[in-house]
Amino acid sequence: MSYEFYKILHVLSVILLFTSLGTLAASARSDSAGLRRLAAIAHGVALAVIFVAGFGLMARLGMFGEIPLWAWLKIGLWLVLALIVLPLRRMPERATALWLSIPIVGGLATFLAVLKPF
């Protein structure tokens, strides 16, 4: 598959990830179990596709073998976004603070992907 295909798939999955995280944060204190379940499923699917498409992009860029430091850091930030659902579920009173931190983590991941500083 082409570089453009992987890039579009990656970006669409990032959009789905942030949509699902916003929904999970907004519904953390509500009783809408169906909405939270749908958002949790979307969150998992988005993370899986981001991972696969990201490695597809790296392969298209010729990054075989050794993964650069910026990519490891980006994987770490995606892990943070994967695990942020746990405090959203267990500490709904902190949903606002977590909701505010989500775009910061996403911005750092974007910075690493665009500038590839390391």
Residues 6+ apart with CB under 8 A from 17: 42, 43, 46, 47, 50, 81
Confidence of residue 6 (pLDDT cuts 50, 70, 90): very high
pTM to 2 decimal places:
0.87
Instruction: Report whether pLDDT(80) > 90.
Output: yes
pLDDT in tens, 44-60: 999 999 999 999 998 99
Mean residue pLDDT across the chain: 92
pLDDT in tens, 85-117: 999 889 988 888 999 999 999 999 999 999 988
The pair phi, psi for residue 28, each rounded to 5°, is: -60, -35
> What is the pLDDT, as a whole number, of residue 17?
96
